Structure 1
Amino acid sequence: MRTIYPQISAEQGVCYVQDFVPPGGMQYKVDMLVDDGQRALAGVVYGKTRMYPPDGGSSVLNFSADRPDILDLSRRMLVELKWTGFCDFDFVDDPRDNVAKLMEINPRFPESFNNNFSSTDFAISFFYNFMLWLATAWIFHLAHPNVKGGFILKSLKVYGLTCLFFLSLTAVYMNHFNDAVQPFYLYSMLDALILFPLVAVANGLIYPKLFKANHR
């Protein structure tokens, strides 16, 4: 490095040497707003769970992170820089010592701010949920004549099987992500365990009134 650096700096100008951090550590971003006295007006830390391109780029799936150490380090750097306004930091946890290392500072809003949940995303999400419940209702409509019990019990059996399928699929997806995101899927599974039985009971009460010809 001592031999190469003078040559590179002579060709490229002033250069900075950055330590190579081995892969495996979680990447974090800090977005902070400070006034002209470098007092923090707002600040947030979030982890980059998924990025595009996948091997490194703008985050497309983040989670709020409780990392006061990173937040405080960012604020102290802004004090030293006599910064005013918004600033964006990139950190990565070094797997060798589990210490967050600064990668870069950007005097702008991050590209991930453009990845907002749009009306199209809402429509797609609504469509997927609608299709899930429609498919479950259709399965019940076809299967209930061959299921024993009253309509509420039949509904609980059919919706229970659908719930198991949903939980299994969610568990498969959950295992593709790190520990920081897994609680999201766990809460989704808990939500399903509560919601499916409630919808099943409602279906068992309403179905006989809507389809009297199929009442058995």
Structure 2
Amino acid sequence: MSAVDEDALIKSRPLTVEERPFKRISKRCAQLPINLNGTTPQIDLEKFREEAELDFELFEVTIARIQLLQHTNQREIERYEAEKVNILKLSEQARQDMALLREQLVAAQQEKANRLKYDAIANNILSTKVMRLGREEQKINMQRLEAEIVELEGERRQYGEVWQARREQFGEIVGRLEKMQEQIQEDKEEHDRREGMDEEEGEEGEEIENPTHMGVIAGIASSGRLGGSTGIEAVQLHP
């Protein structure tokens, strides 16, 4: 690496404030010239050594302080990152809470509107003539309504009894119809059975009164010459 590159690297380092210890060491080393033959001039080496050690100790302290600062900065960065994550979580939670509160606000506004509507309807009802009646008149109306309710309950019971009786009658009618259907089916089967027996007896009587007669066919053939011709005579006998 050339001297120009070293100077550029030194100048481009991030901590430009901490250049003094390094410059002191560089300056201290530059005060020790070396001849080409490897010999050193006559100088106070003990004093030079003490001053160089002090410069290096100062440089080590500076490096240690820089490392501590770096570690501190790293911890601060990690803490900031953790706080950033927490802040993002809190922000997301706050966003969700705001959405939920917005929904609750809409529901509360709707409920308020419904209550106002119901209050208006109730005021209209209470402002009618019937609701402005006195207690005695309302009591009379209530008694009349209770009497009507009792009457309707009695009619309902009567209708229930009538309906039960009609249902029982309908059940009896259905049962009788089923019995009649069974009786008709039995009579039909008995009639069919008797007709079958009568037909069998009629067929047997016809066979006895009208026997089958067989015809007898006899053929007589004779051969002979009668006037130069041959004659064949067939006779069929009937009973």
Higher Cα radius of gyration: 2
Higher helix share: 2
Answer whether TM exceeds 0.5 for this pair.
no
Higher strand share: 1
**TM-score normalised to structure 1 length:** 0.20
